[in-house]
Chains A and B, each alone.
Chain A
């Protein structure tokens, strides 16, 4: 008892330490999360300024704008696209992680580093690289034409499919890493036991491995879904501006139309959606882990 009392006695050095360790991150969060979020929240309720910003005139009219069908349409297509990207990432990541499990521990580390290497290069440069690959006069069309497979170039760039492809490419590592981490703790003998008892490989994966790695996959899903939903650079470059996601609409409100209030309202809708998603994810994980007891 005396030990614990002593350790909780406030000492000046400890107080300074606590202030620094809690205060600095706290200050950081306040400046770069709370304040910007506050600006978004406040400006959603005011009238637009002439050249950006907002006027101190209260209004709920910005929320009425949401009734326009075009915003529901864009939100719907963004959701559909992000879900597609997330599911494709998940399937590829499972395949990749299962392939990695057959490697030696050293081989697995090499494979994980390889997954991370693309992050060394700017995301913009990699997006431009895809434009060079997929373009009408790009590498793929050039090769296909050279070998006489096609006569006229295939139109690959500037389509929703191309946007999905590049988003999958960009965010796949964010799915692989948490999944690999949760597969790392997976007990091989459980799968072996299932198969010894007559389960097919697919059934053993579905009933044993999948539920056990689902928390990792769901973490990955959130990490992929959130940036896909709010990305505006890929639709601009790879979609040629013809694929409109909610991120583009928000960006346009702030930088082109200079309608901060409407941009804020749309950002809040997106935020609300993502918070709901996070809550759903943590509920599902809790249920899985609770059921496992």
Chain B
């Protein structure tokens, strides 16, 4: 989700590595009830600035476990880290759902012993129904979110409420909209507006989506995944397709920036924590995942990074004012959980790719 255009470079080589590795490790998934976790050292890989700066210190104070935090900039990079050798030295990796399912398929993800993570109770029950990992067998959700219409209240004549506002902008918004740069997300507005699945593999549906997006692109300012917030604050853009958390971040700098969920619905992304089979610190890892799900640790994420979390206890304990200030914070987890998630479309990716090129070539 947090992916910048330039950092993609390492990613392709990284993913290729997966095809070459077929590693699995022995050892049982059983936790040792007598293990002294303060003897264990835990290494996690996550995105930079995606956790409290005092996390390692706080966690060690609470449990006695020493915590190393290493970073990956993209899902692809994090994925490559844990698949390129039999034991990467990483115990827990944070990844998006569509990458988690591949880790599970490759038999690299350990089963979670749910009895050792009692704070799973804090989560919205809907997270157990996600297709990428039913019943949370292999992941513990960390954060989730959606994309929608991020806009300048003072520069649009009517509050946007539909993807149509982006696809066929009002006169004052022509040349001042931004579409998302990441191919699969570029397609979402037209797919949702036309009532198609965001994972459709039907070529005629996709052609129709492409025609619509071509005209939307002609009337737009730019394709932008990372700096639309700045464009909105500067007034260069008045309406953007953007992430909930990033739109909140822009709103915290400029209260004239707001967020609207299109009536046609949108997408849902989920980032989860995966315990790797190669980990020798399973007991500490379970303690960590349980610690992360504690209400106050998840509210930190919401209050400081302005992301949504699938943690009902945390979302309900937050003050109403926060939700009024940041309309992209969504307390109704059930409605968010209903959104479709981006999935691998197999060979149909070639159709997406062709149409994506056509959209941008104008």
Q: Which A residues have a C-beta under 8 Å from some C-beta of B?
A: 48-53, 68, 70-71, 73-74, 77, 124, 135-137, 155, 157-158, 233, 236, 240-242, 244, 248-249, 251-260, 262
A70 adjacent to B357 (CB under 8 Å): yes
A52 adjacent to B15 (CB under 8 Å): yes
In Å, the complex CA distance between A255 and B349 comes to 13
Q: Which B residues have a C-beta under 8 Å from some C-beta of A?
A: 5-6, 8-9, 11-12, 15-16, 18-19, 102, 175, 178, 181-183, 217, 220-224, 234-236, 346, 349-350, 352-354, 356-358, 360-362
Q: How far is the CB of B235 from chain A (nearest CB, A)?
A: 6
B223 adjacent to A256 (CB under 8 Å): no
- CB neighbours of B235 from chain A (8 A): 136-137
Is chain B's binding surface mostly helix, strand, loop or mixed?
helix
Q: How far is the CB of B167 from chain A (nearest CB, A)?
A: 16
Which of A51, A233, A251, A257 has most B Cβ within 10 Å?
A51
In Å, the complex CA distance between A240 and B236 comes to 12
In Å, the complex CA distance between A157 and B222 comes to 10
- CB neighbours of A258 from chain B (8 A): 12, 15, 349
A-B contact pairs, 12 of them (CB 8 A): A52-B16, A233-B6, A241-B224, A244-B357, A251-B8, A252-B357, A256-B8, A256-B183, A257-B353, A258-B15, A259-B349, A260-B12
Choose one: A51, A233, A262; the contact of B16 (CB below 8 Å).
A51
A248 adjacent to B234 (CB under 8 Å): no
Q: How far is the CB of A3 from chain B (nearest CB, A)?
A: 54
Choose one: B19, B222, B360; the contact of A244 (CB below 8 Å).
B360
Q: How far is the CB of B131 from chain A (nearest CB, A)?
A: 18
A257 adjacent to B15 (CB under 8 Å): no
B353 adjacent to A51 (CB under 8 Å): no
B350 adjacent to A257 (CB under 8 Å): yes
A249 adjacent to B357 (CB under 8 Å): yes
Q: A240-B178, A241-B223 are in contact. List 5 more A-B contacts (CB 8 A).
A: A70-B357, A74-B357, A137-B235, A242-B217, A259-B353
Known: A52-B12, A74-B361, A136-B234. A155 touches B175 (CB 8 A): yes
Choose one: A53, A251, A252; the contact of B356 (CB below 8 Å).
A252
- CB neighbours of B15 from chain A (8 A): 51-53, 258
- CB neighbours of A254 from chain B (8 A): 12
Q: How far is the CB of B154 from chain A (nearest CB, A)?
A: 15
B353 adjacent to A252 (CB under 8 Å): yes
